[in-house]
Structures are given as C-alpha cells and as structure tokens.
Amino acid sequence: MNLLQLSHARRRKQCSGLSLLEILVAASIASLVFAATAMLWIFSARSFTALGNYGDLDRASRNALDNMSREIRQTRGLSSFSPTRITFLDWDGGALTYAYDSTARTLTRQKGGTNTLMLGQCDFLNFDISQRNPSNNFTFYPETNASLAKLIDVSWKCSRQILGAKINTESVQTAKIVIRN
C-alpha cells in the first residue's frame, strides 16, 4: 500500500458516519427528553388554568354573596322559603326572589319582572332559615315559619371543567345573613 492510499483510508475512517446502534440510542434519549418536556408543559398549563378558573369562580361567588347580603339585609321580611328558592318583601314593597335552577346550574335574582343572573356553573345551592337569637352553644334556632325568620343561611358550590375534567376548580361559599328590618 502506498502512502496515498494509506492517507485516503485514514481520512475515510475519520469521516465515517454514526452506526445504527448509536442513532437508535440518541433517538431514544431525545424521545425521553421531549416526552418529559411535553408532560411538564401540559402539567403547567393545567395548573395555571386551574388557578385562573379558581380565582374567577371565587370572584364571581364573592360578588354574588356581597350583592345578596346587601339586598337581604334591607328587606322587610321573608315571604316564602324553600331550600332552593327564597322570596322577600323588599324595602319598596315589591317581591325580591333568589332562585336556584339545578339543571341550568344558575342562581337568579328576580325583582320587578326582571331576572338577573347572579351566579353560573353552580353545582349545589341551599338556603336555610333560622331565628336571629343563637342558643347557648352559638347555634341558631331553626325556623319553619318564614315570617318569623331573621337569619338566612346560604351555601353553594361552583365548579368548572379543565380539559374535560373537574380538577381543583371548586369554589365553596357560605354565609349567614341577618334581616335587619
């Protein structure tokens, strides 16, 4: 073999490509890295969405509760009661009604022929009535007569779906509202 052939053989050996085994190992490692990155991205996106939904549900619940509390405190008294519907004699002599529709998952306010959506995406809502004066252990006396009730206990649970599943998006609210008049 002459010197030229020897130099050409060395150059070919130095410039040779990867073997099939080396390519398979590199592709496997790259696939694992991409899969881990995709899983982390999906987890982060779901977490940020859940956090945003929770904040939005909490804001809507607090807003509904603030408005209900302000209006109920100013009513003259309770006219009729059921666990999902409550009607008051308002300060102006008209009827003020809050009604929960379990099929539509909504809480609506009805006043003077106008319906206003107070809360949506509500899974559960319950009204309860009591007397204003608590017993010795600070529990309120339950009341069955609407005209004698002075305390309205309302609680609800709202939720949303994230990517097709209810995951950490509940907002639970409960309040005791005293009729002041």
Q: What is the tens place of the pLDDT at every residue in 25-45?
A: 999 999 999 999 999 998 888
Neighbours of 17 (CB within 10 A): 7
Rounded Cα–Cα distance for residues 122 and 156 (Å): 7
Domain, as residue range, for 174: 20-178
Q: Would 115 be classed as within a structural domain?
A: yes
What is the tally of structural domains in the chain? Answer: 1
Q: Would 6 be classed as within a structural domain?
A: no
pLDDT value of position 58: 86
Q: Would 2 be classed as within a structural domain?
A: no
> Quick check: 177 and 155 in contact, CB under 8 A?
no
Band of the pLDDT at 68, cuts 50, 70, 90? very high
Band of the pLDDT at 176, cuts 50, 70, 90? confident
pLDDT value of position 80: 93
Q: Would 11 be classed as within a structural domain?
A: no
Q: Is 69 exposed, middle or buried (0-12, 13-18, 19+ CB in 10 A)?
A: middle
Q: Would 12 be classed as within a structural domain?
A: no
> Quick check: 130 and 149 in contact, CB under 8 A?
yes
Q: Would 93 be classed as within a structural domain?
A: yes
pLDDT above 90 for 146 = no
Rounded Cα–Cα distance for residues 142 and 152 (Å): 10
User: Would you say the pTM of this structure is higher than 0.85?
Assistant: no
DSSP structure class, residue 76: S
Q: Mean of the pLDDT values across residues 89-110?
A: 94
Rounded Cα–Cα distance for residues 122 and 116 (Å): 15
Residue 107, CA distances (Å) to 46, 97, 142 in order = 28, 10, 24
Band of the pLDDT at 133, cuts 50, 70, 90? low
Residue for token pair 């309205």: 152
- Do the strands 106-111 and 85-89 form a parallel or antiparallel pair, or are they unpaired? unpaired
Report which of residues 74 and 167 the model is more confident about. Answer: 74
Q: Would 45 be classed as within a structural domain?
A: yes
pLDDT value of position 51: 82
pLDDT above 70 for 124 = yes
Rounded Cα–Cα distance for residues 25 and 129 (Å): 70
Q: Would 144 be classed as within a structural domain?
A: yes
pLDDT value of position 71: 94
